[in-house]
Amino acid sequence: MITIENGYRISIMLTEACNLRCSHCYMSANAKGKTLSKEEIDNMIDNLPINCLRISITGGEPYMCKDKLYYILKKIKQKFAGKMPEVRVETNGMFFYHDDNMVIKEIENLINMGVTTLRLSDDEFHQQGGLDIQKLRNIEKVVKENNLNIVVSTLFQDKAVAFGRAKALNNEKLDKKTCLNRKESLIIPYFYTTINGDVSTCAWKCAPALGNCFKNSWEEIVDNLNSPLQTAIINSDILEVANIVSKGDKKKFEYLKSIIETKGQCMACKEMFKGVYE
C-alpha cells in the first residue's frame, strides 16, 4: 500500500504567467496566465500534511506575481515552523539578475523566507525565449562569492517532450522521454499541482488527477494512489498503464506499446490521456 508515511514532495504551480516565450514550453506559457489567489494559497498550504520533505514553487514564472510568491513562502514558513522542508523556487532570474546588488538583496530575501534552493534553467530554449544567459550564470557566481546560504541548482535541456509549444520543434530537438517517476516514488511520492488545484504524479500533468486539493482531503488524494492505474503511473510502469487503459483490447494495447517503443513513455501517456495543457 502506498502512503506518505515516509514523507512526500510537492511541486506547486503558483502561476501560469511567464515573461518568456520559450519554444520548448509544455504549457505554451505567456504573460496572461492565471495565478493562485491568496485564498487558494491559504487553502492549499493549510491543508498540506505536515511531513513534507520538499516544496517547489513553480510557474510559469513565480516572479510574475512577486507578492504572491512572497505570500506563499511566508505561509510555508509559518505552517512548517520547527520542521521546515527543503523549499525550492524555480525561476528564470530575470526579475533580479541585472546587477550584483539586486541579486544579493533578492537572495537574502528568499533565504529569510525559508528558501533553501534556487533552481535556474540554463539552455538555448530559454535564451531564445528572451533570457540573458550570461546574467543568469552570474547569479550562481554572486551567491558563491558572497557566501550566501542557498543552493543554486541549474537545469540544462537540449531536447524537449512534444507537449504544448514544443510540438513545433524539429525532430532532432524532441526527446523520447521516459516517465520521471522512479521506484523511490512508491516510498516517497512526488505530487504536482495545477493552477486549478488538481494533483497529479505526472510532471507534465498528462496523467489523470488523483484529486483536487481545493475539493478533496489529502487522505482521499493519497488513497487514490492505490488504484491499479495510479500505482502503475507512480511506478513508471507505462506498459501496465497501457494494459489497464486497453481493457483487454489487444489491438489497442499493441498500438500503445508501439508508441512507447518508438516515441517514448510520455508520448504514450499523451495518447492515452488528454493532458491539462494540451
Dist CA 128 CA 126 (whole Å): 5
Grid look-up 504544448 returns: 164
Q: Which residues contact 86 (CB under 8 A, 6 or more apart)?
A: 53, 54, 55, 116, 117
Dist CA 152 CA 141 (whole Å): 10
pLDDT on residue 268: 95
Q: Quick check: 229 pLDDT over 70?
A: yes
Angle at 231 between CA 226 and CA 237, to 5 degrees: 170
* pLDDT digits 0-9 by tens, 167-188: 999 999 999 888 999 889 999 9
pLDDT on residue 256: 97
pTM of the model: 0.95
Q: Domain-by-domain residue ranges, the chain?
A: 8-177
Are β-strands 198-200 and 190-193 bridged in parallel, bridged antiparallel, or unpaired?
Answer: antiparallel
Q: Which residues contact 91 (CB under 8 A, 6 or more apart)?
A: 59, 61, 62, 63, 118, 119, 120
* pLDDT digits 0-9 by tens, 53-86: 999 999 999 999 999 999 999 999 999 998 999 9
pLDDT on residue 274: 78
Query: Strand ranges (DSSP E) for 67-135?
Result: 86-90, 117-121
pLDDT on residue 82: 84
10 Å Cβ neighbour count for 119?
A: 16
| CA 32 vs CA 5, 23, 166, 254: distances in Å | 39, 17, 19, 41
**204, 160 in Cβ contact below 8 A?**
no
Mean pLDDT on 21-29: 93
pLDDT on residue 237: 96
Query: Phi/psi class of residue 211: alpha, beta or left (left: φ > 0; alpha: ψ in -120 to 50)?
Result: left
Pick the CATH number of 8-177 from 3.40.640.10, 3.40.50.10320, 3.40.30.10, 3.20.20.70: 3.20.20.70
pLDDT on residue 174: 93
pLDDT on residue 278: 61
Mean pLDDT on 138-160: 96
**6, 36 in Cβ contact below 8 A?**
no
